[in-house]
Amino acid sequence: MKPPLTLYLAAPRGFCAGVDRAIKIVEMALAKWGAPVYVRHEIVHNKFVVDDLRGKGAIFVERLADCPDDRPVIFSAHGVAKSVPAAAEARNMVYVDATCPLVSKVHIEAERHHANGLQMVMIGHAGHPETVGTMGQLPEGEVLLVETAEDVARLTPRDPGKLAFITQTTLSVDDTAEIVAALQAKFPTIIGPHKEDICYATTNRQAAVKAIAPKADAILVVGAPNSSNSRRLVEVGAKAGCGYSQLVQRAENIDWRALEGITALGVTAGASAPEVLVNEVIEACRARFDVTLEYVETAVENVEFKVPRVLREPA
User: 154-164 as b/e, with b when 16 or more CB fall inside 10 Å?
Assistant: ebebeeeebbb
User: Up-side HSE of residue 159: CA atoms within 13 Å toward CB?
Assistant: 6
Backbone angles phi, psi at 230, to 5 degrees: -70, -45
Nearest to 6 by CA among 208, 213, 264, 220: 264
Question: How wide is the angle at C-alpha 221 spanned by C-alphas 218 and 227, nearest 5°?
Answer: 145
Query: What is the CA 124 to chain-centroid distance, rounded?
Result: 12
**Cα–Cα distance measured from residue 245 to residue 73, given in angstroms and rounded to the nearest whole number:** 37
Q: Residue 222: helix, strand or coil by DSSP? A: strand
**Cα–Cα distance measured from residue 33 to residue 285, given in angstroms and rounded to the nearest whole number:** 42
130 is catalytic: yes
Q: Tell me which DSSP letter residue 118 carries.
A: P
Q: Which residues contact 313 (CB under 8 A, 6 or more apart)?
A: none
Containing H/E element for 167? strand 163-167
Candidates 130, 275, 283, 301; catalytic one? 130
CB contact at 8 A, 179 and 144: no
Give catalytic residue positions: 130
